[in-house]
């Protein structure tokens, strides 16, 4: 069963304990100045945004079919069956295609380090693999961030909007965006207010490239045969000429 998070901004009080728990879990520095940064970075995997006392969490959305894992030439980024999109620095060569491809601008880079890597939320993959929940969900005092099976969280999100239509902006962000994400967001205002794009395709992004890539195995023998065929035909005349010349020579030798 694929796990996920449901973040309900209407229940969030902006205490930022999720930020702190995340930093502790991942061994990242955390103090007042980090807390005041309302954006994610190579040393801050989740950020709580405050827009006129409307809150929103930013973190990796853990797409169902992630662009980052699809584009990674060495498989350093992977979508695990449990839900988290993980990163293995020992495989990475630093091409940063994941950063270019991510529709949410999630992967960050350690630009200042001599041996840099990609940094992002990995949905506490180790905890989840042991049957636990993410640090942010565990610490959340109001239940605004809830960990669980994605299917059940999605049901619950639908129910909340249905039961309290006035309290919510009627959209579950992550239900269909780029083919669906493991992290689901609810809000009382439109998601555009927090910098989310509202024109994201509902199609999983890897399909755009795979529909071209998947043709290559068929294309190679066809095009190779075509080129070989052209060569064979265009050089036919020379072959004939060479053969005739040889015949002449043999006749000459026989005489």
Q: Binding residues for another protein, per CB under 8 A?
A: 41-42, 67, 70-76, 91-97, 99-101, 103, 105, 107-109, 111-117, 197, 199-201, 205-206, 208-210, 212-213, 216, 219-220, 223-224, 227-228, 230-231, 234-235, 238
**What is the C-alpha separation between 73 and 154, in angstroms, rounded?**
32
Q: How far is the CB of 40 from another protein (least distance, A)?
A: 9
- The whole-angstrom distance between residue 113's C-alpha and the CA centroid of its chain comes to 23
**Looking at beta carbons, which pairs linking 156-165 to residues 24 or more positions away fall under 8 Å?**
156/6, 157/6, 157/8, 157/184, 157/186, 160/8, 160/186, 161/186
Smallest distance, another protein to C-beta of residue 48, A: 19
Question: Count of alpha carbons within 13 Å of 246, Cβ hemisphere only?
Answer: 6
* Minimum CB distance to another protein smaller for 63 or for 172: 63
Of 76 and 122, CB closest to another protein: 76
Closer residue to another protein in complex, CB, 33/234? 234
- In whole angstroms, the minimum distance from the beta carbon of 71 to another protein comes to 5
Contact yes or no for 184/174 (Cβ under 8 A): yes
| Minimum gap (Å) between residue 219 Cβ and another protein | 8
State the burial class of residue 18 (Cβ atoms within 10 Å of its Cβ: 0-12, 13-18, 19+): buried
Q: Which is nearer to another protein, 162 or 207 (CB)?
A: 207
């Amino acid at each position: 069963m694929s796990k996920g998070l449901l973040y309900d901004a209407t229940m969030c009080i902006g205490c930022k304990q999720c930020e702190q728990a995340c930093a502790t879990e991942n061994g990242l520095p955390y103090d007042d100045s980090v807390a005041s940064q309302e954006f994610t970075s190579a040393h801050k995997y989740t950020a709580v945004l405050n827009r006129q006392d409307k809150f929103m969490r930013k973190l990796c959305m853990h797409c169902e079919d992630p662009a980052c894992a699809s584009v990674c030439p060495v498989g350093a980024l992977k979508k695990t069956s449990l839900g988290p999109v993980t990163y293995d620095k020992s495989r990475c060569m630093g091409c940063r295609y994941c950063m270019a491809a991510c529709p949410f601008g999630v992967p960050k880079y350690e630009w200042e380090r001599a041996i840099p890597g990609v940094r992002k939320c990995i949905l506490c993959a180790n905890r989840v693999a042991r049957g636990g929940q993410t640090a942010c969900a565990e610490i959340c005092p109001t239940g605004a961030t809830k960990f669980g099976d994605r299917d059940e969280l999605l049901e619950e999100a639908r129910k909340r909007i249905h039961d309290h239509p006035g309290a919510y902006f009627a959209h579950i962000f992550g239900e269909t965006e780029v083919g669906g994400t493991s992290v689901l967001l609810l809000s009382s205002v439109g998601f555009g207010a927090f910098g989310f794009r509202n024109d994201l395709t509902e199609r999983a992004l890897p399909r755009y490239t795979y529909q071209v890539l998947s043709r290559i195995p068929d294309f190679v023998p066809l095009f190779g045969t075509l080129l070989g065929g052209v060569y064979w035909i265009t050089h036919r005349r020379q072959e004939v000429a060479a053969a005739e010349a040889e015949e002449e020579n043999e006749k000459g030798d026989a005489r």
